[in-house]
Each structure stands twice: as C-alpha cells, then as structure tokens.
A and B are shown apart, each in its own frame.
Chain A
Amino acid sequence: MQLSHSEFALAPAAERRRFVLQARPATLDVAARALGLGDTFAMLAAAAAGAVTALRLGPQEVLLLLDPAGADDGLSALRAGLAGVAHSLVEVSDRQVGLDLSGALVEAALASLTSIDVAVAAFPVGMATRTLLGKADGVLWRTAPDRFRLEVWRSFAPYLSGLLDEAARDAVF
C-alpha cells in the first residue's frame, strides 16, 4: 500500500495510538485543558501539543492520535482530568490505519472520492472531518496545503488506496 506518481503519493502514516473520546461538550473542554490543547476543541479542527493530536469530529466526539512514545503521559493526564466525569474513552489503535496523501494532484484525487470541497479555501490546513469517500467512510485531515492524512477503518484501506490511485492517474488528463 505505497503508491507514488510524480505528483501524487500515498504512504502509510507514522505509527499512532488512537482513542475515541466521547463526552458532553463541556466535558470535552475539560479534556482539552487536561491535554494542554487550549480551552476547547474547535469543531472539525485538529489541535496538537506534545505527543497528542486531537481531531474534533463531532459535538461529542474527538479522535485522539498519540505518538506511542508519549502516549502514556497524555493518557494519564486525560484520565486524571476526566476522573469522576462521565465520558467514554475507547482504544481504536487497530481499528483504523492512517494514510498520508501528498502531491500536487492530491486535491484532484480526493475530489473524485468526496463530495466535500477540498480546495484549500474551503478545507484549510488543520481542518479535519469524517466524510464519505467513494463507498467508504474516512476521516480527512489536511496537514499541509498539499498533504492530507486519511484515517480509514482497516478493511477499507485497500479499496481507498486503489480508488485514490486510479483517481490520481485520471487527474493527469
């Protein structure tokens, strides 16, 4: 699952531990502070500090991506901050895989899969959202003007890789 054309590349993302954090919005604010990520997780945005990146995917849902090296510290801080407060923290490290998409054709390739506008004006760096890509769900996070992280459930990765590869080839014409 490593594809590369001159203007489009798809590669496995760096190893991350993953957790889905769900709670009422006020509790998520508490979590943001516990993780040192500000006073709140902005909707559809990524926030990062230290080993922890948080993607706010819904009013009650945050996807946490943790560098394995600092993951335990982050989790401890989070658990301490949320002790006694109703929430759900579920590990999904193996549920999904991360793919790094990059290159000049990355927008065109994604535009053949998702109905979301992926132009940088509409989907700026730092934005993250779940969307439908072809017939598979995925979380799309723009990490640079020409770079996206795609988080997909494990069994959908070959399908999405194949689709992106074909879309990128077509985008040349």
Chain B
Amino acid sequence: MSQAFRVPGHGRVDPARTVSFTFDGRRFQGQAGDTLASALLANGHHLMGRSFKYHRPRGAVSAGSDEPNALVAVGSGPALQTPNLRATQVELYEGLTAVSQNRFPSLKFDLGAVNTLAAPLLPAGFYYKTFMWPRSFWDRVYEPVIRRAAGLGVAPTAPDPDHYAFQYAHCDVLVAGAGPAGLAAALAAGRAGARVILAEETAEAGGSLLSDRTSRIDGRPAALWVADILAELAGLPNVRVLTRCTAFNYGPHNMVALNQRLSDHLADPAPDMPRERLWQVRAQEVVLAAGALERPLVFEGNDRPGVMLASAARTYLNRYGVACGRRAVIVTADDSAYRVALDLHAAGVTVAAIADLRPAPDSALVRAAQEAGLTVLPGTTVQRAHGGTRVHGVELARLLPDGSVGKGRHWRADLVLMSGGYTPSVHLFSQSRGKLVFDAELGVYVPGEPAERTRSAGACRGVYALACVLADGAAAGVAAAGAAGFAADAPAWTVDAADEPGRGGYAGALPRRGKGLLAMAFVDFQNDVTAKDVKLAVREGFQSIEHIKRYTTTGMATDQGKMSNVNALGIAADALGRPVEKVGLTTFRPPFTPVTFGAFASHARGDLFDPDRRTPIDPWARAQGAVFEDVGLWRRARYFPRGSEDMEAAVRRECLAVRGGVGIFDASTLGKIEVVGPDAATFMNRMYVNAWTKLGVGRCRYGLMCRENGFVYDDGVVGRIAQDRFHVTTTTGGAPGVLALMEDYLQTEWPELDVWLTSTTEEWAVIALQGPSARAVLAPLVDGLDISAEALPHMSLAEGTIGGVPMRLFRVSFTGELGFEINVPARHGRAVWQAIWDAGQGVGITPYGTETMHVLRAEKGYIIVGQETDGTATPDDAGCGWAVSKAKADFVGKRSLALPAMQAPDRKQLVGLLTEAAWEVLEEGAQLVARPDEAIPMRVLGHVTSSYFSATLGRSIALAMVSGGRARVGETLYVPMEGRTIAVTVTKPVFYDVEGARLNV
C-alpha cells in the first residue's frame, strides 16, 4: 500500500518530494510537509498506539497538539529516542524512525489489552481501593506492576547528546497563535511600529486557514491571503515570527515562556544547531489568539481507530492531502461538520450520513449539504462505533421527543467523524490568572476579566466566523499596540465565507438506549477515563470538580483538559444535578504542551552548569597533581598526593611538614570585605561580637559574627589598615551572605553611619605560609620589611612589597604554628607563590590542601563555622565566649544571647573526644550517649562534628558538641555504631600546644 489515501490536488505537502520513514519497523512513504500522522493516514494506517490503562488500540483523533492517542517515540538509541511525542505534530523527514508505545509485544497484538476485559474491575479510584493491603506490597509489588502496565513511553537512559538554547526577549506585543486572529493582530501592531513577536505552534502560520479551501479574503483564497500577510510581516524589521514555537507558560507580569523546536523536523540538521530554544518573553502587552479545539462526542467505542474529530479530517484533507477513509459517517452538534462533509464529498470520499444531534438544523451550510445530495439525519445520535483496530461501522439512532433514544440502525463506515462543537483554548489566559466566565449561549467558558495586560482574540474567546475573527484580531492588535504606546489603525478585509461554525455543540455523554453496563465511552482518551468513571466519582460522594478530576484523573497529565474538559464537566453537572456553570472549572496548569527537560536546562549543563571558580594559584596546583574539592562554587586543592599516596597518607605527610618545617597553602578563596569610612569602627562594633574601638592600626583580631538570633553566623580575622579602614575576612562560603547581612544593617537600620563596604575577595590572592620555618623563608623576599617577632608579632599586619609587588602581610595562623598570610593583587598571586616556593626549597616547603588545614586547626580546637556550628550554636557554645565583648551596650545578637534559653547549662558545648584505641577515627555526625546499654530510643547528648587522625599526636582526635559538655570533661561517653559501641573520653577541645607557645615565636 503506497499512499492509497493521498488525494491529488489537495494539501500543502510537496507531491514531488517523497520521504521514507519507518513506524514500528515497517517502511512507509509520505511527502515533504507531512506529519507522521498524516503520512500514516495517507497509507491507510490508523492504528498508532495503545491506551494508558486498558491498552485499547488507538488512532489519531485530532490533527494537532491536542492529540491524546497517537503518542509515539521518535529516534533510536538509548539517548536519541524521544518518547511521548504526538504523531500529529511530528514533522516527517527522510529516515525518520518512530515506534508506538505502551504495547507488548506488538501494537496489533497487545497482551495488556486484557485490561479491557477486566475493565469492570478497574473503575475510577481502583488504585486506592484495590491496592490498599498489605501495605508492604505497595512499594515492591503493586506500584512497579502498575507502572509497567499503565504508562506512557520509556525515558531515554543515556545523556542527551543534543544541546538547547535559551533567550530572553522583550517586546511591545506578544501574539500567541498565528491563525487568522493572530495574523491580523500581529499585522495591526507591527504596522504601528510596535516590537512584535508572533509565536505559532505548528510548522506554518495560518491556523485554520490552511485547512480552508472555500473562504476568500479580499477575493483571495485563504491560504494565499496568509502568504500575503506573512510576506508583509517579514518585511517589518520590528516583527519576529516564530514557527514551531509553543507559548506554554504565562507567568506573572506578562512573562511568557515559549518553546521553539529548531531541529526535530530536519533529517540532517547542522551539527552546531540547538535542538530547541526556550524563550522567556517579557511583553508589554499580550494578544492570545490560541484558537479553539473541537470537542469529541462521548459514546461507546468513540476511541476506535478511524473515529476522529471532524475538523481533523478536514485538516488532513485540505492541509495534508489525505482522505482519512473511503466512507464516512459524521455525527455532529454543530454546523462546522457540514463543511467537512462537503469538502470530503468534493474530494471523492463517500459521506454516508450526517447525523445531527439537533432536532432541526437549518443554515446555509446544512442546505448546501442537502443540495449536494448528502443524507442529513436530524435529531439523530450515535449509539456505538464497531470495530477493533479500525472502525467498521456505527449504530445511529433517533433521539425521540420524550428524550429517549430509538432503535439503532447500523451504518457501514471506515471513518466516523464527530463534532461536539468548539472549546476555546483558554489555557494561557487561565494561567495568567484571568477569570473565566461561562457563556451560556456557547455553552463554554470564555475569557472574562484579565489579570494581566492581555487580551484574547478570535476563537479562543468564542468568536468563530472568519470575518469576525479577522476583525477581532485586528482590534486586539490595535488595542495592544495602543496600550504599549503605538497608535495603530485596524486593517480591514472583506471576507467571503458563509460558514458560521461553533454555534452548536454538546457537552457530556450522548444519550443511550438501554443500560450499557459494559459500554466504554471515553471522556479523556489519554487517561482512559470513561463517562461511567465520572458518574461513579459523583456517586461515591465527590462534589467538587477538582476532586472529581483527581479521583478519575480526567484532564490530568498532558491533556490538561484540552479534549476532555467540557465533556467531563457536562457529565459531572448532569450527575450532580447542577448547571455546568455551577460545577466550576479545574485549573489549567502549565505547560500547555510538554516541554523537553533539555530546554529547561538549556546552557546550564556540563562545564557551564555552574561557574567553576578557580584561584590564581589553581594552575600551579593542577600541575602538581592536586586533588580538588568543591567549596561553594570554588574549586580548592584538597591535598597534594605524591606518588601513589592516598588522601590519608598525603594528609599525614602534609601535617607533619607544617608542624616540623613550613607548609604553603592557597587561601585566596577566603571572603574579603573592605570596610571604609569614618564610622567604620562603630559599624564593626555593632556587627561583630568583639570590640574594635581599641584595635590599633596594624593589628588583627579574630572576629565572630552572630545573627540577631544570637547564633554564630561567620568568623574570620579582621585587620585594621587605617583608622577608618578594616580588612575583613570571612569564610569561603560565607562571603556573599556576610556582605548581604552587613549591607542590610547598614542600609536599613543605621543609614546614618558613614561607612561603605566593598568586596575584595578576588582582588587579593592569599598565600598562607605556616610552620616554624615560615619566617626564614619569607624574610628575604619582603623587600626589607621587618617581620621579626618584635616588629610583627602574632595578630598584626604590615603593608609592604614582596618582590616589588604590593602586599598586605598578616601575621596570623589557623594551624597553631608561626604563620603569615601574604595578600597580593590577584594577577601577581601565581608569581609570588612561585617565588616563595623557590625560596622554601631548602627547608622542604610543602604545599598542603584543605584537608590538612582541617586537621591542623582541629588539633588546635579552632572551629569551622558550619562544621562545629549548625545555626543553633552561640559563641559560648562554640567555645568562643572569650570573643564576646562584655563592655559593648549592643551588637547584633547581644540581646538574644541574654535570653534564658541561651544560657542554659545543658546547651551543647564544644568539647574534645579521645577514643581508647589511638587508631580509631570516629565518624563525623556520630551520636553520643551516656550509657552503652541504654534502651532505644537513647537520649542523645550530642554529636561528633570533626574527626581526624592526627599524625602530629600519633592518634585520633575528635571535636564534638555535647550537652553540658564543658562540665563533662573527664567523663566517658559512648558512640553507638552498627554492631558495637565505642567508648570515648570527653576532653578540652585543644589537643596540641595548649599554651600557644608555638604561635608567639
């Protein structure tokens, strides 16, 4: 069979360019311009998928993004296959490979279809009812089985090889949808000079006009008019037309997200081409021209392949040149289906009957159908569609005046078209928080008062006749441009089209004869929700439409009510005995259609996921083979292994080298803030727990900062450069937060202070030189600066030069050894490091990393904020009560520290722990209890915060926060671990050089 259903002379596909593709391994041919669905239909192939729950055979029911059934996976391989694409949107290209989903072993013969036989056992809410017991079965048995049986496509398993673009955009007028209303709006606003973005979901602008062979605009066929408008728009530099681009999210303050598909339709895209682009558009004004979706009718077997929306058949015929069958029966509640009938008839498709639910349809279109010799059956409904993997007939029956249904008659058909009227696409409007109002005449919800600067035009607000749609679009474009400050004239066109679609319609399940206990009439095809499910939900007590939605799953997932909403509402209203407008509406959630994860990630993956911050000394460390660790966004050298050393061995060696000679450490990542102004000391007094007034110029002090709640927030050494200038350091990770907190107090509480803050973190490269030999290495390099113990004692600083480079030299130590921190402008960091490195060769200078730094400071009992403290530790808890000024009347946190709870004797306090076995290193985070034999739950007294093997001491050490810890020094506590309990002795938290003799040399 080779495109036996292609209709020559119809459609916008290119008859000269035949395209080959495979579906479920079978080769097919289509034409350039086809979608996967239209090409399959051209080959008479309706069966495209199996349904979610019952595994029923399904074909395309629509021709657009509202398609619930024809979900396919496109591409091949573990990375390149994209699941859950709608065949109705997948554009054909040479070599396209697609497979159907949710079937086993094959689409035609699917074992899961037995679920249909079991349908009486699988009503709405069956998960909740059936799989309640035993509880333990849920995770291991029920959920995996359900997930395998009921589901959509399979997610790719390998990383996505494509890349995705991202773009912010700003415009005066954003138009969503390029059908007649959208084109008219874009043209009106574009001519006025407004910056316009026109986004169209499909491959081609034109919307319904591309499926319209009869209407004429200004005497031109509709499709040619579209081309004229597009040509004019293309000539306007202020207008951007984006096709294959879906407006999927309407966020606050007119920020609309668009998803543009760039390469999926290409057989051989350029290698650099992004697959998709995510746009975040901030629009002054928005025009929504999203159109309307035709509603299916709810009757038994309405999901059989070959049962389609009438408008879809028209689109396949007129846009793609495909007849969806040979012999059609049309069931309608609206005039628009008559136009479909006439088009099909003209194309040679037999229209066996038009069953109209209305008792006495009468309009120019109805008469035209009758005059064409078509059989029109007024007051007639459909009882069921017959068929398996393809429909082969329907049963039509009279609607009797008393409301009952007469005896049915079988009609042979391989195509059953249904038209329940139109539902305006109000999704974006609803997402924008606009209020929807029920239009009693149309029987649907339409946009009411908007919340954003937005307006709806055309079919998405229930305006259907072409002449009205164009005028409505043009008016919306003029209004939007005007609101954005551009005076515009409304373009006007004469329309020659008599059709008046959308005036009829039906909501709910069609009436039936008899009980039909086993009938499956689908409301939501995608989620396999039937009319009976909705009724059952009401019977079981669900009153709110939001609850009914969740219980039955109707309108959930990607459908978002596109196809199911109004019918579900109609059935619920009927069952509840309330009018539709009193039942309410469920929320339309973004995205309008699914969006690829890659598009959301866009550039933020791989190396560009986060900034990878490196210090000026990083190249040296890398050349030395350092192992790095992430600290915030910084990459810091963790240790410098030699030969085959592991971390433990390297750290032992590095520790001993510092204690015994000299080590060199890259401290550039430390946060630095320059606090400058006449009120600098006053400000420091208020921000830090310490007192600063008496700190002399050239002196340093350990600063501790609390938040107003009294808990330790950050710490660091602060040097006084001048009377009005402090060089403040912070922790590596705390720098932005400390600056923000300082700015907060300065700007909002003490704006009268003349002091300003400048981040200088990256101005300075910082080289820590630590160990007894540090002075000997450094002294010859500092251009004559006296760095003797007398001239530059512990906790002092000097400005000078090192090899001619300006330097701020801090005599500080985070190791407990004689130490210097050499600050030089960042560009010189690498060279100064090298000079010190060279100078230290004679004394075995050793580079060390953050791990060794941690061990050395723990030996001295120096805390690390965020390791010993956790946001609930006061300075006193952390053993830093000595830093808190008693003299100051106020500082941030002082009042909170005076609260009784902050002074309770059983607060967790910093202590040291020693294990009995010197080799045993406790686990950080391990809990401490009083008795080894305590019953569970044990009373936890505290936890281990830091734990290392100390090469210096030849044994393990640990720091811990323990309830009333300082009073427990000497006690034995216990660390319960899996299978055993470790006894520890509580000690003071300083393990090495308790007197600090090594510092003051």
* Chain A in direct contact with chain B (Cβ < 8 angstroms): yes
Q: List 29 A-B contacts (CB under 8 A).
A: A20-B758, A22-B757, A86-B678, A86-B754, A87-B756, A88-B676, A88-B755, A88-B758, A89-B676, A90-B674, A90-B676, A90-B758, A93-B825, A95-B761, A95-B763, A95-B826, A112-B603, A115-B282, A153-B762, A154-B616, A155-B613, A155-B614, A159-B610, A169-B272, A171-B165, A173-B262, A173-B272, A173-B273, A173-B274
Task: Give 9 A-B pairs besides A94-B764, A162-B608 with Cβ atoms closer than 8 angstroms.
Answer: A87-B756, A88-B677, A88-B755, A94-B827, A154-B616, A155-B611, A159-B611, A167-B165, A173-B270
B716 to chain A, nearest CB (A): 18
Question: What residue in chain B is nearest A121 (Cβ atoms)?
Answer: B195
Q: Which residues of B contact A93 (CB under 8 A)?
A: 763, 825
Asked if residues A112 and B165 are in contact (CB atoms below 8 Å), the reply is yes
State the Cβ distance, B530 to closest chain A Cβ, in Å. Answer: 45
Given the known inter-chain contacts A162-B607, A166-B603, please indicate yes or no for A22 contacting B825, CB distance below 8 A.
no
Residue numbers in B under 8 Å from A12 (CB-CB)? none
For B272, B616, B762, which residue has the most chain A Cβ atoms within 10 angstroms? B762
Verify if B277 is at the interface (C-beta below 8 Å from A).
Answer: yes
* Selected interface stretch from B167-175, B357-365, B574-582: B167-175
Residue from B170, B611, B763 in contact with A92 in the complex, judged by beta carbons closer than 8 Å: B763
* B494 contacts partner chain A, Cβ-Cβ < 8 Å: no
Residue of A whose beta carbon sits closest to that of B166? A112
Within 8 Å CB of A86, what residues of B? 677-679, 754
Residue of A at shortest CB range from B668? A155
What 1/0 flags go to A50-77 for Cβ under 8 Å of B? 0000000000100000000000000000
How far is A22 from B758 in the complex, measured between Cα atoms in Å?
9
Give the distance in Å from the alpha carbon of A172 to the alpha carbon of B263 in the complex: 13
The answer to whether B167 and A135 have CB atoms under 8 Å apart is no
Give chain B residues whose Cβ lies under 8 Å from the Cβ of A166: 163, 603, 608
User: Which residue on A lies nearest to B673, using beta carbons?
Assistant: A90
- On whether the beta carbons of B611 and A154 are closer than 8 Å, the reply is no
Decide if A90 touches B762 in the complex (CB within 8 Å): no
B612 within 8 A of A: yes
Question: With contacts A163-B603, A170-B277 known, is A90 near B166, CB below 8 A?
Answer: no
Residues of chain A within 8 A (CB-CB) of B88 are none
- Answer yes or no: B815 CB below 8 A from chain A CBs: no
Least Cβ distance of A164 to chain B in Å?
A: 10
On whether the beta carbons of B826 and A94 are closer than 8 Å, the reply is yes
* Residues in B neighbouring A96, C-beta threshold 8 A: 762
Which chain A residues (126-143) contact chain B, with CB distance < 8 Å? 134-136
Would A60 and B165 count as touching, CB distance under 8 A?
no
| CA distance in complex: A155, B633 (Å) | 10
A108 at the interface (CB under 8 A from B): yes
B612→A158 contact, CB < 8 A: yes
In whole angstroms, what is the CA distance A154 to B272 when docked? 29
B825 closest partner in A (C-beta) = A94
Asked if residues B168 and A154 are in contact (CB atoms below 8 Å), the reply is no
Answer yes or no: B759 CB below 8 A from chain A CBs: yes
* Minimum CB–CB distance for A107 against chain B, Å: 11
- Asked whether B756 lies within 8 Å of A60 as measured between CB atoms, the reply is yes
Q: Are B280 and A115 in contact (CB under 8 A)?
A: yes
Tell me if B813 counts as interface (CB < 8 A to partner A). Answer: no
Given the contacts A108-B167, A166-B603, A92 and B280 also touching, CB distance less than 8 Å:
no
Cα–Cα, bound, A172→B167 (Å): 12
* Closest partner residue, chain B, to A169 (CB atom): B272
B370 interfacial contact with A, CB 8 Å: no
Please list the 10 inter-chain residue pairs (A to B) with the smallest Cβ-Cβ separation, ordered nearest first: A88-B676, A22-B756, A88-B756, A155-B613, A86-B754, A170-B165, A159-B611, A94-B826, A117-B170, A95-B763
CB distance from B207 to the nearest CB of A (A): 25
User: B952 → chain A, closest Cβ, in Å?
Assistant: 33
Contact (Cβ within 8 A) A111 B167 = yes
Cα separation A94 to B168 with both chains bound (whole Å): 31
Q: Chain B residues with Cβ under 8 A from A173's Cβ?
A: 165, 262, 270, 272-274, 277
- Smallest beta-carbon distance B737→chain A, Å: 15
Instruction: Please encode chain A, from 35 to 49, with 1 for each CB lying within 8 Å of some chain B CB and 0 for all others.
Output: 000000000000000
In the docked arrangement, what's the CA distance between A92 and B755, Å? Answer: 18
A91 within 8 A of B: yes
Q: Are A112 and B168 in contact (CB under 8 A)?
A: yes
Q: Is B615 an interface residue (CB 8 A)?
A: yes
Contact A154 B166 (CB under 8 A): no
Q: Is there an interface contact between A111 and B754, defined as CB atoms closer than 8 Å? A: no
Interface string of B811-834 (1 = CB under 8 A from A): 000000000000001111000000
* Chain A: minimal CB distance from B253 (Å): 12
Contact of B762 among A112, A154, A169 (CB under 8 A): A154
Measured CA separation A7–B647 after assembly (Å): 48
Nearest B-chain residue to A109, judged by Cβ: B167
Contacts A114-B168, A173-B262, A173-B270 given; indicate if A92 touches B676 (C-beta within 8 A): no
Any B CB within 8 A of the CB of A3 = no
Q: Which residues of A contact B277 (CB under 8 A)?
A: 170, 173
Cβ contact within 8 Å between B758 and A135: no
Contact of B611 among A89, A136, A171 (CB under 8 A): A136
- Chain B residue numbers with a CB within 8 Å of A83 are none
Q: How far is the CA of A116 from the CA of B607 in the complex (A)?
A: 24
A160 to B170, CA, bound (A): 22
Determine the chain B residues whose CB is within 8 A of the CB of A111 once the complex forms: 167-169
The interface residues of chain A lying within 8 Å CB-to-CB of B262 are: 173
Q: Is B760 located at the chain interface by the 8 A CB criterion?
A: yes
A1 within 8 Å of B (CB atoms): no
A119 with B674: CB separation less than 8 A: no
* Cβ proximity bits B649-684 to A, threshold 8 Å, 1 near / 0 not: 000000000000000000000000010111100000
Q: How far is the CA of A117 from the CA of B827 in the complex (A)?
A: 33
Smallest CB–CB gap between B724 and chain A, Å? Answer: 9
Q: Which of B170, B616, B756, B764 contacts A119 (CB 8 A)?
A: B170
**Complex Cα spacing A68 to B826, Å:** 17
* Residue A14 lies at the interface, judged by CB distance under 8 Å to chain B: no
Is A23 positioned at the interface, with any CB of B under 8 Å from its CB? Answer: yes
Which residues on B sit within 8 Å (CB–CB) of A95?
A: 759-763, 826
How near does chain B come to A67, taking the closest CB pair, in angstroms? 17
Q: How far is the CA of A160 from the CA of B762 in the complex (A)?
A: 16
8 Å CB contacts to A: which residues of B276-315? 277, 280, 282
In the assembled complex, which residues on chain A have CB atoms less than 8 Å from the CB atom of B613? 155-156
Q: What separation, in Å, do the CA atoms of A122 and B170 have in the docked complex?
A: 10
Determine the distance from Cα of A20 to Cα of B739 in the docked complex, in whole angstroms.
15
Whether A91 pairs with B282 at a CB distance below 8 angstroms is no
Residues of chain B lying within 8 A (CB to CB) of residue A60: 756
**CB-based contact A163/B608 at 8 Å:** yes
Q: Do A135 and B611 have beta carbons less than 8 Å apart? A: yes
CB distance from A102 to the nearest CB of B (A): 19
**Smallest Cβ distance from B807 to chain A, in angstroms?**
13
Are A167 and B603 interface neighbours, CB within 8 A?
yes
Min distance, Cβ B860 to any Cβ of chain A, angstroms = 30
Q: For the complex, give the distance between the alpha carbons of A31 and B650 in Å.
A: 54
Contact of A23 among B165, B170, B756 (CB under 8 A): B756
Which residues of chain B are within 8 angstroms of A154 by Cβ–Cβ distance?
616, 762, 826
Which A residue's beta carbon lies closest to that of B674?
A: A90
Q: State A23–B758 Cα separation when bound (angstroms).
A: 12
Within B713-757, which residues are at the interface with A (CB < 8 Å)?
A: 754-757
Q: What's the Cα separation between A71 and B163 when bound, in Å?
A: 45
* Nearest A residue to B278, CB-CB: A112
Smallest CB–CB gap between B658 and chain A, Å? 26
B747 (CB) vs chain A CBs: closest residue? A60
Q: Identify the closest chain A residue to B676 (Cβ).
A: A88
Shortest CB-to-CB span from B770 to chain A, Å, is 24
Shortest CB-to-CB span from A62 to chain B, Å, is 11
How far is B240's CA from A108's CA once the two chains are assembled, in angstroms? 13
| Identity of the chain B residue whose Cβ is nearest the Cβ of A172 in the assembled complex | B272
Query: Nearest chain-B residue to A173 (Cβ)?
Result: B273
Is A92 touching B758 in the complex (CB atoms < 8 A)?
yes
Residues on A with C-beta less than 8 A from B603 are 112, 134, 163, 166-167
Given contacts A92-B763, A94-B826, A111-B168, contact A135 B614 (CB under 8 A): no
Closest Cβ–Cβ distance, residue B843 to chain A (whole Å): 30
A156: chain B residues within 8 A (beta carbon): 611, 613
Most buried by B among A86, A155, A156, A172: A155
